[in-house]
Structure 1
């Protein structure tokens, strides 16, 4: 970087921060409107309507999704250059809110994972960058995505062409995720695996059923299911290397018996599987069902299994992440940027984008003054005073990456 370029970039950062601060009240108001209007899944018409209203005066190329209520908005800068993608997710969770906030949702759904802040922060970045489009050396794609909470909306948007919306594919992609358990304004990321993959193994264990007074006359699958549960819990400890572990949890368990004196004929189980590499995921997928089927057979039962692959590992490109960390250090100071020592075992469908485009996901601390709060809780509260910082970080990451060009 030449001294002239460094001076220009520094002044840009200061300009975005000042402009973002002037948007504070409007961004908070939009966030709270989105919070109250929360919807879940892939079909979010009310949420989409609010976002379209806010984007209308920015002179962007706006398209809507076909299989979901997504929005793709393209900002073309006044100078030639590559394409960068910025993403914000839109959906809430099926949780009845219990925060007592004046703008709390009352529909039985809730933005308990902060996606309302993600949308408002991305809107802020769009405003900041649109205001300086003549200086912008390239194109920015704003990806507003429904269905992050389990419906793979990111994958659907990729199938519908979001990565080709600007004509050329992005050279980088960035997203922020607020965290109500991290102190407000702290920025957190890491190189490599950032969040885990998420998969499931569904199992149906077949016995014969019978009278509870005469278990010797049938094959009771319930105690066999207990063996499967214990074997599942020990699989990771004995079949996987300590340096590349998985978290495997039995999350569902039920039988077809509807009376206390009837032995079950079948038992249904489901395991949730979290891994940090494709190698480990392949091992679990290939070896765990085989081991469990052998235990079932040894006890006279038959096991049917179905492996359901969900979100891949969220992988931060090391080179891009080093650049991101440099930008974050310059924006807020090294003392407010955390290099995460280990990945989170939660999952994110921004992982689909990062499989196709190098980039990074960054956590933004948004714990309220009352103290840290867990995500996905009916009591989750976020400090929406971090919205100017979110908008600044997204705008600055896009600006700096475009200034670097294709390389």
Structure 2
């Protein structure tokens, strides 16, 4: 999986330095991979990050409500601030990759966050080596709780955007993708990834004997109607050019026996949209429509709408700059401009709501292929780490020099 040849990137870039540090970055990545942690509290992971940053002479702070790490590099020349971000947490998945450094405790870095941390550590090293020439400041944001815990929002509330004094003029992140060819860079202007919300529902009937459904109000067939109605809502209430995805992900009744009709059915819907206006339409119109169907069948429906990550929006101007840099560094043939957004979601959306910037995907597919992200078979070619580090450093450097 680990390859020796360096990437050929643009003259004057950080490529040669990054290539030389690749073995160190791979070592750190594999250490992190072997011991993932979940959610907002990642003490072991945080210790590794602090250990690696300690020798770089940065201004370092840690979070109060989460195991975050913020490091500020102040350049030798006056200028603005740019933020670079990596997420830190793993997933509750039993790893089945067979790697020599696989996790063995029921958790797994199945979304590449171990590479994100190692790549950002590499970018920090590269930029520190040129501190005296750096025309501004760089904030390195190491963020727990990306996988559903809104860690990015918590770090913003704790002041990560004010860490250098001036708020960043731009923010960038690179996310590895194990089913995209190694070294391919992927991004787009505008909506890059969807928002994600949930709707938790409790449907109540009366229950009764399974032999006499006429004497009860059975919520199970009504739940089936609600599921079909939710799919019809997407197809008929939303514009074809700005669709949503509504998936019923949880469904359970309270019946404890095969001959007992349920009195209650619990459901949860996962909702993904690509614009705030479509999200508003779903939030305002879907719950009352479903309640109406429930009531028409003699049931009562309680529905709680829970907004989570917003749309990940790549600022068009910043993304145009990023695309120009990537074309120069790796060649246009290795830069893919997505035609449509992904319906997955990303915690970096909270930062991009506050600071113009760009999320880029970096192909890390190994020889022989990989299972998808978030699967027990997800495998990443960590020989991309020097490319990841050099691209992040280059984007920060050039964006600061531009102003």
Alignment TM-score, normalising by the size of structure 2: 0.97
Map 1:49-60; keep pairs closer than 5 Å.
Answer: 49-60=47-58
In structure 1, distance between residues paired with 2:242 and 2:42: 38
Map 1:380-399; keep pairs closer than 5 Å.
Answer: 380-399=378-397
2:232 to 231, 234, 248: 234
1:35 to 33, 36, 51: 33
Question: What residue in structure 2 maps to residue 6 of structure 1?
Answer: none
Map 1:243-322; keep pairs closer than 5 Å.
Answer: 243-322=241-320
Q: Deviations over 1:97-134 (max 9, x none)?
A: 01110000011100000000000000000000000000
5+ residue gaps, structure 1, are 1-8
The answer to whether the 8 Å contact 1:97/1:110 transfers is yes
The answer to whether the 8 Å contact 1:205/1:267 transfers is yes
Q: Is 1:336 matched with 2:349?
A: no
In structure 1, distance between residues paired with 2:302 and 2:36: 38
Partner SS state of residue 68, structure 1: coil
In structure 2, distance between residues paired with 1:12 and 1:94: 42
Question: What residue in structure 1 maps to residue 179 of structure 2?
Answer: 181
The answer to whether the 8 Å contact 2:173/2:359 transfers is yes
The answer to whether the 8 Å contact 2:370/2:377 transfers is no
- What number of residue pairs does the alignment pair up? 395
Shift of 1:146: 0.3
Partner SS state of residue 12, structure 2: helix
In structure 1, distance between residues paired with 2:192 and 2:168: 21
In structure 2, distance between residues paired with 1:24 and 1:245: 42
In structure 2, distance between residues paired with 1:37 and 1:109: 8
Shift of 1:63: 0.1
In structure 1, distance between residues paired with 2:393 and 2:105: 33
In structure 1, distance between residues paired with 2:152 and 2:102: 27
Partner SS state of residue 119, structure 1: helix
Shift of 1:404: 1.1
Alignment TM-score, normalising by the size of structure 1: 0.96
Partner SS state of residue 119, structure 2: helix
Map 1:123-202; keep pairs closer than 5 Å.
Answer: 123-202=121-200
The answer to whether the 8 Å contact 1:209/1:262 transfers is yes
Say which is worse superposed, 371-380 or 166-175, in terms of deviation.
371-380
In structure 2, distance between residues paired with 1:207 and 1:89: 44
5+ residue gaps, structure 2, are 1-8
RMSD: 0.9
Shift of 1:10: 5.9
Shift of 1:12: 3.1
In structure 1, distance between residues paired with 2:165 and 2:171: 15
In structure 2, distance between residues paired with 1:374 and 1:226: 30
Question: What residue in structure 1 maps to residue 4 of structure 2?
Answer: none
The answer to whether the 8 Å contact 1:176/1:364 transfers is yes
Map 1:365-384; keep pairs closer than 5 Å.
Answer: 365-384=363-382
